[in-house]
Amino acid sequence: MNPISRRTLVMAFAGTAATTALVPEAFAQPRDGGEYRILQARYGTAQRNVDVTRRLQELARRDLQFRIENDTFGGDPDEGRVKTLRIFARAPNGQTQTFEYREGDVLDGSRFAGWSGGRWGDSNYRGGWGDGQRGQRGDEGAYRIQQALYGTSRRNVDVTDRLRELARSDRSFRLTNELFGTDPAEGRVKTLRIYTRGPGGTSKTFEYREGSVIDGAQFAGWGRGDWGQDGRRGGWGR
């Protein structure tokens, strides 16, 4: 191979590698499209808690899910007590809403605006531990679940009752076939579709691919499980 051809090949390979390197970033962008903008984050208990907004920004820039632990935030503000991460955020209607994650829970930042950029947090916000409209770990979310289906567009099953059982445990969980006790479409990647009624009576569908983490904080009454009983029997495409 002559020098010119070799150089052309190397440049072409480098261009391909650069393009490939951009793919993860492109896939990460939808995570930044959440509805709530973070003002402040605190970790601890009502008696002893610390501001962890900057640390949360560092974690968010990695654009990953992580487990809430003392090591995550570099300390234990109240030894011997179960800690909570409280995220105070501004909702689309301008009101302040509080999201709670107990020690051991998995946090997924997809609901927060600009999550992976980490360019959020209001230095002028001085809300204490008890300020904001407490979400009680998500029970006061904006969307009320009507029905949940799991599978593919061709083969899916109604898992509303099973999702209600999981919600009453009031925890985050990873989406697997074992979770619902069935594989409605073997060999295919499944999706959980949650059909909801939002503010003003509008309908909205949430989708979670197999393997993703579900956190019910954005759904009204999540931990109580008092939803999905309005008789909706819509199909996959509705």
Q: For 73-122, how does the pLDDT look when each residue is reduced to its tens digit (9 = 90+)?
A: 988 998 888 899 999 998 888 888 888 888 888 888 888 999 988 889 88
What is the pLDDT of the chain when averaged over all its residues?
Answer: 79
Q: Where are the domains of the chain?
A: 33-134, 144-218
Say what the pTM is: 0.48
Per-residue pLDDT at 131 exceeds 60 = no
* Bigger pLDDT: 212 vs 12: 212
In this structure, which amino acid lies at residue 1?
A: M
* Rg, C-alpha atoms of the chain: 21
pLDDT at 148: 94
Q: pLDDT band at residue 191, thresholds of 50, 70 and 90?
A: very high
Residue 179: name the closest of 214, 146, 206, 207 by CA.
214
Direct distance between the N- and C-terminal alpha carbons of the chain, in angstroms, rounded to an integer: 59
Name the 3-class secondary structure at 127.
coil
Rounded CA-CA distance 87/215 in Å is 14
66-80, 99-113, 137-151, 198-212: lowest mean pLDDT where?
Answer: 137-151
Check: CB of residue 158 under 8 Å from CB of residue 148.
yes
The pLDDT value given to residue 97: 85
- Picking from 226, 90, 66, 79, the residue whose alpha carbon sits closest to that of residue 160 is 226
Higher pLDDT, 20 or 15: 15
Higher pLDDT residue, 69 or 20? 69
* 3-class DSSP state of 21: helix
Residue 214 — very low, low, confident or very high, per pLDDT cuts 50/70/90? confident
Instruction: Convert the pLDDT of each residue in 153-169 to its tens digit.
Output: 999 999 999 998 888 77
| pLDDT, greater one: 31 or 67 | 67
Question: What length does the chain have?
Answer: 238
What's the average model confidence in pLDDT over 53-78? 89
Question: From CA 74, how far away is CA 148, in angstroms rounded?
Answer: 38
